[in-house]
Amino acid sequence: MKKLIDILEVINVPLIDCQGLLAFNLDAPETGSQIDAEAVEFRGWVLGKMSPAIAVEVVAQGRVLKTIAVNVPRPDVLISYPQVAEAGISGFRATLDLSKIIDQQDQLTIYGILRDQSLVKMAEVRVKLGSDSSIMGVALPQQDADSGLEGIQLKLQRIQADLERSKVFVHTVKTNLQNRT
């Protein structure tokens, strides 16, 4: 029996908080869907403001699971954003095997990477790994991934990754403010 993964919630970062992005959309995965954990599709599109989007990263537990090139044709985006040269090829698509990567419950973060090497948070995807076995039709209980030493270590890794990104952001803001004066 295959492992299933529940997409508990997909939270798009408000565009106003996505400095460097003109627009984006995460088409898949979708909130409420239950899919094969070995074939989770990440699909959407992204447009940079001043610097074109070149890739999208899927990150879990502080490590990059996949870097996806932004090069898939998106005629629908070109119609909506004809003034953006890259709009016609602003799509991304990849299928990831999360069956052995994700703990029982986890959070994935989706980042856009711009040509100027800026990293912009686009979305968070909360997932829960389903059971891959049952006894006489009754699912086996799952342990909470956030309990115990392993759960604490994972939380610390996430906090550390968030702290590093925050440091870069603060440095960028300080530099921009200094350049204005």
Check if the beta carbon of residue 152 is closer than 8 Å to that of residue 37. Answer: no
Q: Out of 89-98, 108-117, 142-151, 160-169, pick the least confident.
A: 142-151
Mean pLDDT value across residues 89-103: 88
Q: What is the pLDDT of residues 7-44, one digit of tens each?
A: 999 999 888 887 889 999 999 999 999 999 889 999 99
Cα distance between residue 116 and residue 77, in whole Å: 22
The pLDDT, as a whole number, for residue 29 is 92
pTM: 0.69
Is the backbone of residue 117 left (phi > 0), alpha (psi -120 to 50) or beta?
left
Scan for tokens 């392993």, then name that residue: 150
Partners of residue 36 on adjacent β-strands: 4
**Which one-letter amino acid corresponds to residue 9?**
E
